[in-house]
A and B are shown apart, each in its own frame.
Chain A
């Protein structure tokens, strides 16, 4: 039923690819759209109907996602190795077979786009929980909201990509990301850039699996259309309600993410931020953004009026003085 992971057939992929909104190919994302419409103020003429009809963005239709089932992960780090090779990253200090890395809490960095961490399992101390960490590819990414140069794009395929040729290195995206994912390459003096998981964008466009999903021997990573893997996740919880906690992490967090997680241990014990709103973070700054044109239009009127009043008062005072003088002279 779920044509996912290796079962994803190419035919289906191509068909859907044809139906995909062509927005990404023209480079006009909804975000840019909203932004432009904000700039244009009332110039709403010419916007496609759905911009008016659906102010809430529920993600690109048919975009891809990944289900990470933490109960299945065995901590073999095959995904780390595959990711390293697929992205031509430098070889790590400790080999991918070295289990000693689990003694520390690692995080994706400029040197590794994904890492697997080990956490204690409070229910069963003999079987720890492994968690693969990488960019979650939010449906409405805060990094893209934050970027003043629009270097980030949420593609129709689901990947949040980034163009280093535009980036000037302010690192507001690093501040804004609720999951601490973008890493900055501080060591480069001349070509520093953001480094993070890009969902193997080139590979998924060709209909291939991501490198990590392709490498996972344990069936912990399931690649597919987000709406399908969401159903799959729901089904797994329903089938084994005692095994899983009843929460698909990423379904609603910050408006939803393309990567979804299932776990037998509460997510806050695995270092997942659990204090996030369920709406996209852009919603939190939208009110402020729309107040800016208000300031621009009302302030000149208010302060201009105050200035006119001040001038008027001065003039009256002067005239009053002159009249006084005339009276005195007479």
Chain B
């Protein structure tokens, strides 16, 4: 009898323990009512409004079909949703592999405070890329088909699919020490840290192939993509632009973290941010010079100079001079004068250039010889709402993680473990 009482008491304390642990982890130490009150902010209300408007749109997509929500035509099977969600997003999400390789492989110790944030940015981005596919695929419930049902290895998309899936897993494993620290599992943590270097090298390979494969997909379209954008160099152009996109994204992430999540940042993170911004800015400037040189090489090799003096040529120059050369020069000025805000502005500018380039390849220069093709590429409001909802969700999930997980700081008991 007394034994029974004893065990009940014990289980109730362990229940209580679990409850506090759970509350501590999820509600950041607040009580339920405190936590719910903390959620009522103008930005959250805006987010809820966007999500509320998007809910019926998503429902329409799954109940009534793609044609009811996206501008899906046989001329433009891939609309703005994919241009934004996959083609423009993924170069930014190379941040994980670029920063992790700099720290773990090249041994640039000063990058340490930023590694976890950059890996998180990459991992989450890839997860959301998958989510975009769940919207856009005709039969998303077959998303695993290229992996297990039937393989089409001559397809570049097959390569993309495999690499995205493998890389998402690798990034999850790269990030797992953070999750394990949050959960307090020391043994698994030790194991997860021990395989880091192998994972990082794997990540570099997967990311290299997959970023270039996104460009290589368009190698099949010489008759459809405008000759100024079509080039046998598309794979290397996509890859090299992903490098500076990733560096720009990483330094912007650091800025957002210090600006809006300062209480979640460790001293080391805050104090190293100016230096890291400068260092990443330098890297981004250099890789932009490389990208620019490759763009010129592509033009020269295919002898496409004459096309520059056509309407599409002017648009090409807007992209190349306005959104590559100008941010490249701004980066250079920012780095030389050690002006952090100039570097941040250039990073934003460079990211806009990536978006423009991918939208050009996907939509504006695609099917360029089709009569009045430009009216095809304006998305209906439903597609725009879905994109906005995805961005909102992306930010919310990012914020949720940054508020809870030891991303920009080190827990004292795991100091120096990574």
Which A residues are closer than 8 A to B by beta carbons? Answer: 31-32, 34-36, 38-39, 107, 109, 142, 144-151, 166-172, 174-176, 178, 180, 182-184, 186-189, 191-193, 273, 275-277, 281-282, 284-285, 287-289, 291-292, 295-296, 299-300, 303-304, 306-307, 310-311, 313-314
Pairwise interchain contact A303-B221, C-beta atoms closer than 8 A? no
Q: Does B1 contact A (CB under 8 A)?
A: no
Q: How far is the CB of B168 from chain A (nearest CB, A)?
A: 17
The answer to whether B149 touches A36 (Cβ under 8 A) is no
Q: Which residue of B lies closest to A193 (CB)?
A: B138
Interface pick from B12-20, B150-158, B253-261? B150-158
Docked-complex contact A299 and B72, CB < 8 angstroms: no
Q: Which residues of B contact A32 (CB under 8 A)?
A: 154
Chain A residues whose CB sits within 8 angstroms of the CB of B152 once the complex forms: 35, 147-151
B146 cross-chain contacts in A, Cβ below 8 A: 148-149, 168
Of listed A36, A168, A303, residue having the most chain B CB within 10 A: A168
- In order of increasing CB-CB distance, the 9 nearest A-B pairs are A169-B138, A310-B107, A171-B77, A150-B152, A186-B67, A168-B142, A148-B158, A189-B65, A35-B153
| Cross-interface CB contact of B145 among A39, A109, A149, cutoff 8 Å | A149
State the CA gap A171–B101 with chains docked (Å).
Answer: 34
B222 and A168: CB pair below 8 A? no
Q: How large is the interface on B (under 10, 10 to 19, 20 to 34, 35 or more residues)?
A: 35 or more
Chain B hits for A167, CB < 8 A: 138-139, 142
- On whether the beta carbons of A180 and B153 are closer than 8 Å, the reply is no
Cβ B137 vs Cβ A292 within 8 A: no
11 contacts between A and B (CB under 8 A): A145-B220, A180-B74, A186-B67, A193-B138, A273-B369, A284-B232, A299-B204, A300-B201, A303-B105, A307-B107, A310-B107
Q: B154 touching A282 by the CB < 8 A rule?
A: yes
B346 lies within 8 A of chain A by Cβ:
no
Contacts of B154 in A (CB 8 A): 31-32, 34-35, 38, 144-145, 282, 285, 289
Query: A148-B152, A189-B62, A284-B222 are known contacts. Are A109 and B139 too (CB-CB below 8 A)?
Result: no
With contact pairs A189-B63, A310-B105 given, residues A169 and B139 touching in the complex (Cβ less than 8 Å): yes
By beta carbon, the residue of chain B nearest A284 is: B219
Q: How far is the CA of A192 from the CA of B369 in the complex (A)?
A: 28
Query: A113 to B161, alpha carbons, bound, how many Å?
Result: 30
Q: From the candidates A144, A172, A193, A306, name the one contacting B157 in the complex (CB within 8 A).
A: A172
A292 and B145 within 8 A (CB)? no
* Minimal beta-carbon separation of A284 from chain B (angstroms): 5
* Cβ contact within 8 Å between B222 and A276: yes
Residues of B close to A288: CB separation below 8 A: 156, 212-213, 216, 219, 235
Which of A142, A169, A175 contacts B137 (CB under 8 A)?
A: A169
Q: Which residues B195-253 have CB closer than 8 A to chain A?
A: 197, 201, 204-205, 208-209, 212-213, 216-224, 232, 235
What B residues does A36 contact at CB under 8 A? 153
Q: With a CB–CB cut-off of 8 A, which chain B residues contact A282?
A: 154, 220
Q: What chain B residues lie within 8 Å of A275 (beta carbons)?
A: 222-223, 369
**Chain B residues in 8 Å Cβ range of A176:** 220-221
Q: How far is the CA of A285 from the CA of B216 in the complex (A)?
A: 7
A174 closest partner in B (C-beta):
B77
> Could you tell me if B201 and A147 are in contact, using CB atoms closer than 8 angstroms?
no
B374 lies within 8 A of chain A by Cβ: no
Asked if B140 is at the interface (CB within 8 A of a chain A CB), the reply is: yes
> Considering only CB atoms, which chain A residue lies closest to B133 in the complex?
A170
The listed residue (B155, B204, B205) touching A148 by CB distance below 8 A is B155
Contact of A192 among B139, B204, B209, B217 (CB under 8 A): B139
| B-side contacts of A38, CB under 8 Å | 153-154
Contacts of B145 in A (CB 8 A): 149, 166, 168
